[in-house]
């Protein structure tokens, strides 16, 4: 549930707060041969070679081009501040984690993914299914309380069927919001990936009842041919019936 576009650099280092988004450009790199590749694989490779964000991410030391999506969102809405406690869902390969580390100096970052992820200094990385029964207890103990920001870049493997993919990501973002109900501090922020498809409207209406401000954004680093958008919800308002996170067993 964490597949994210872009290539991992293989570096465990944390990229700096800089890394300005590259200008869109036509690099016109050609794939010389399609031998042994499917048509879809060839198209993917061509797109990667001609994507300025892929090249910029590699140069900046980010694990994927997705870093530029989060930097653009934070530059616009300023939810990552020094001392912020962040819970990141669907963290692999770790580009968002690198951005979080650079921007929340003195804070705490818990990055989880159902898939393995190389450690990053400055964050607690856990291989964990966010929808598992034990997730709440494990995360509460790792965080030591509630968090100020919950981020979700979770995604299911694409099926190529738009309706199916849309339903799956709505289910994941709803699971992410359930963490917000239990673990987000009053006034906190929720940032999550969505796919356009119609079903997102009901979810956005729910967020508007629980947050002071709700905005949808398509960052420049999000490919134009993708239905991907991001929701940024600020000013969490807990409901009186919101469940409390579990108490530590220690």
Q: Are residues 39 and 141 in the same domain?
A: no
Query: Is there a domain that residue 241 lies in?
Result: no
Bridge partners (DSSP) of residue 190 are 150, 233
Q: Are residues 134 and 193 in the same domain?
A: yes
Candidates 46, 76, 193, 208; catalytic one? 193
Bridge partners (DSSP) of residue 149 are 86, 189
Query: Is there a domain that residue 161 lies in?
Result: yes
Bridge partners (DSSP) of residue 192 are 152, 231
Query: Is there a domain that residue 121 lies in?
Result: yes
Q: Are residues 122 and 55 in the same domain?
A: no
pTM summary value: 0.78
Pairing of the two strands 85-89 and 124-127: unpaired
Bridge partners (DSSP) of residue 234 are 189, 213
Residue 193 is among the residues annotated as catalytic for this protein:
yes
Per-residue pLDDT of the chain (250 residues; tens, 9 = 90+): 444 443 333 444 445 544 556 654 444 545 445 555 554 444 444 454 456 888 888 888 999 999 999 999 999 999 999 999 999 999 999 999 999 999 999 999 999 999 999 999 999 999 999 888 898 889 989 988 899 999 999 987 676 777 777 788 888 999 999 999 999 999 999 999 988 877 788 999 999 999 999 999 999 998 888 889 999 999 999 987 655 555 555 4
């Amino acid at each position: 549930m964490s597949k994210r576009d872009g290539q991992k650099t293989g570096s465990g280092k944390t990229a700096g707060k800089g890394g300005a988004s590259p200008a869109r450009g036509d690099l016109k790199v050609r794939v010389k041969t399609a031998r042994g590749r499917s048509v879809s694989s060839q198209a993917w490779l061509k797109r990667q070679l001609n994507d300025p964000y892929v090249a910029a991410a590699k140069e900046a030391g980010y694990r994927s081009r997705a870093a530029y999506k989060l930097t653009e969102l934070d530059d616009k809405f300023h939810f990552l501040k020094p001392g912020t406690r962040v819970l990141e869902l669907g963290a692999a390969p770790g580009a968002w984690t690198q951005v979080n580390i650079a921007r929340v100096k003195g804070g705490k970052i818990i990055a989880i993914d159902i898939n393995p992820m190389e450690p990053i200094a400055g964050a607690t990385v856990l291989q964990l299914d966010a929808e598992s029964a034990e997730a709440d207890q494990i995360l509460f103990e790792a965080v030591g309380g509630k968090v100020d920001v919950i981020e979700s870049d979770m995604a299911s493997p694409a099926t190529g069927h738009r309706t199916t993919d849309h339903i799956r990501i709505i289910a994941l973002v709803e699971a992410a919001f359930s963490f917000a109900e239990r673990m987000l501090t009053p006034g906190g922020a929720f940032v999550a990936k969505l796919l356009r498809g119609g079903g997102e409207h009901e979810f956005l209406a729910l967020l508007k009842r629980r947050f002071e401000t709700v905005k949808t954004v398509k960052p420049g680093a999000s490919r134009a041919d993708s239905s991907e958008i991001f929701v940024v919800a600020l000013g969490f308002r807990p409901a009186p019936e919101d469940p409390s996170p579990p108490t530590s067993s220690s």
